[in-house]
Structure formats: structure tokens, C-alpha cells
């Protein structure tokens, strides 16, 4: 017996929040793909991610730290 495919529930509010988080991260200097990855991770503090870059941490290092 094969396992059933997971049901994906789309939540318009959640998608809106993730789009907003992505835009904030891109404005802080993260590339689009990195920003989207961070935005989808709700266990990552958005303000901390932005503070890292604003305090001089290179974006590639910030992504390694956060992800």
C-alpha cells in the first residue's frame, strides 16, 4: 500500500504574509530566491534576518546562518 499524497491547504492570508516577508527581505538586500526561502520559514525571525544584513553581514553568510 502506498502512502497517500499530502493534502496541500492553501491559505490566502498565509500567502499574503509570505509575499510581504519576501518583499521586506528583498528590500534589505536578499536576492529573490533567498528572500523567498526565508519568508517561507516562519521559525526565522524576520527582524533578525534584516538586522544581520543591515549590520554588515554579507547576504550569503546571513543565509547560511539563518537556513
Contact 24, 50 (CB under 8 A): yes
> Is 5 within a domain?
no
**CA–CA separation, 40 vs 34, rounded Å?**
10
**CA–CA separation, 25 vs 44, rounded Å?**
12
pTM: 0.81
> Is 32 within a domain?
yes
Range of the domain at 16: 12-66
C-alpha cell at 46: 524576520
> Is 7 within a domain?
no
> Is 51 within a domain?
yes
The predicted-structure confidence for 5-60, as pLDDT tens digits, reads as follows: 666 667 889 999 999 999 999 999 999 999 999 999 999 999 999 999 999 999 99
The total number of structural domains in the chain stands at 1
> Is 25 within a domain?
yes
Q: What is the pLDDT of residue 56?
A: 97
Mean of the per-residue pLDDT values for the chain? 90
> Is 48 within a domain?
yes
> Is 26 within a domain?
yes
> Is 39 within a domain?
yes
The CA–CA distances, whole Å, from 6 to 3, 12, 43 equal 9, 19, 22
**CA–CA separation, 30 vs 21, rounded Å?**
11
Amino acid at each position: 500500500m502506498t502512502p497517500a499524497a499530502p493534502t496541500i491547504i492553501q491559505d490566502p492570508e498565509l500567502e499574503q504574509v509570505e509575499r510581504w516577508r519576501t518583499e521586506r527581505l528583498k528590500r534589505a538586500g536578499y536576492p529573490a530566491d533567498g528572500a523567498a526561502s526565508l519568508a517561507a520559514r516562519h521559525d526565522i525571525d524576520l527582524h533578525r534576518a534584516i538586522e544581520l544584513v543591515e549590520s554588515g553581514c554579507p547576504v550569503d553568510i546571513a543565509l547560511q546562518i539563518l537556513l
